[in-house]
Amino acid sequence: MLRVASWNVNSLNVRLPQVLEWAEQQCPDLLALQETKLADERFPSQRLAEAGWQEVHAGQKTYNGVAILARGEAHDIVTDLPGLEDPQRRVLAATYGDLRLVNLYVPNGSEVGSEKFDYKLRWLEALNDFLGEELARHEQVVVVGDFNIAPAAADVHDPEAWEGRVLFSETERAAFQRLLDLGLADTFRLFDQPEGVYSWWDYRMNLFRRGMGLRIDHILASPALAKVCTRSTVDPEPRGWERPSDHAPAVADFDLPASTEAAGGT
């Protein structure tokens, strides 16, 4: 079994103890992090190594930043979307054994119609092309991260209030659907799920306590992996911890052949 997890930590500097605690509890084999908000040279490699983790990081001071923690070595690392000039560190793809992992921090988009929204759409276009190439090259592809898109009404606590707004606009949902059209499956929706499962709750107005969130963090899988996915959930627990990230981790399990497990699985 191989467990893949994804967590927007909103500053790894602040959240490192929580990351170590949660990883010890849940034992992911691959843990993708977003919004590390750290330059590469400030990445806490030592403390992570003490806990048995190797990392790759596409770091940036103050904003963005994506990392992957693993037990084994990363190969063929990519940190940019081909064809998109972008200083923002939002992409990190790496290969572990036979498994290609793509870690994303999709732009938030600010407001529908804004300049940042246009950037989000252009970014998603470039992502679509990139993932098409990745899927052509690799059989086992997992695409994880903070997509900043709630795919469907079931992923939004109040879909009527959110309709047309950033994170849940028609345009963004269509862009998300185009990713699925490449052949990727939203692993969460491969299973019966309870209602009201979300991965992000605004810090303001006690929205977590009131159960008012959105499911915008996803684990997508190529056909070969979707076939062997045995579980996909969001763990809301760390969102209730003291001084939490505004996101909860998404987790998926895959029944994989031994060749991949040799690369760091359990």
Partner DNA sequence: ATGGTGGATGCTCCA
Which residues bind to DNA, rule: CB under 7 A?
Answer: 10-11, 13-14, 37, 61-63, 107-108, 110, 116, 203-205, 243
- Give how far the C-alpha of residue 2 lies from the chain's centroid of Cα atoms, to the nearest Å: 16
The answer to whether 35 is a known ligand-binding residue is yes
Instruction: Please indicate whether residue 105 is annotated as part of the active site.
Output: yes
* Min CB(13)–DNA separation in Å: 4
Q: Which amino acid is at 19?
A: V
DSSP 67: E
* Min CB(202)–DNA separation in Å: 7
Q: Which amino acid is at 217?
A: D
The one catalytic residue in 146, 155, 217, 253 is: 146
Nearer to DNA, 110 or 266 (CB): 110
Q: How far apart are CA 205 and CA 209, in angstroms?
A: 9
What value, to the nearest 5°, has the Cα angle with vertex 79 and ends 73 and 84? 160
Instruction: Please indicate whether residue 247 is annotated as part of the active site.
Output: yes
Nearer to DNA, 37 or 57 (CB): 37
CB 18 within 8 A of CB 26: no
Q: How far apart are CA 77 and CA 94, in angstroms?
A: 5
The answer to whether 13 is a known ligand-binding residue is no
Nearer to DNA, 188 or 200 (CB): 200
Annotated binding site for Mg(2+): 8, 35, 146, 148, 246-247
Annotated binding site: 8, 35, 146, 148, 246-247
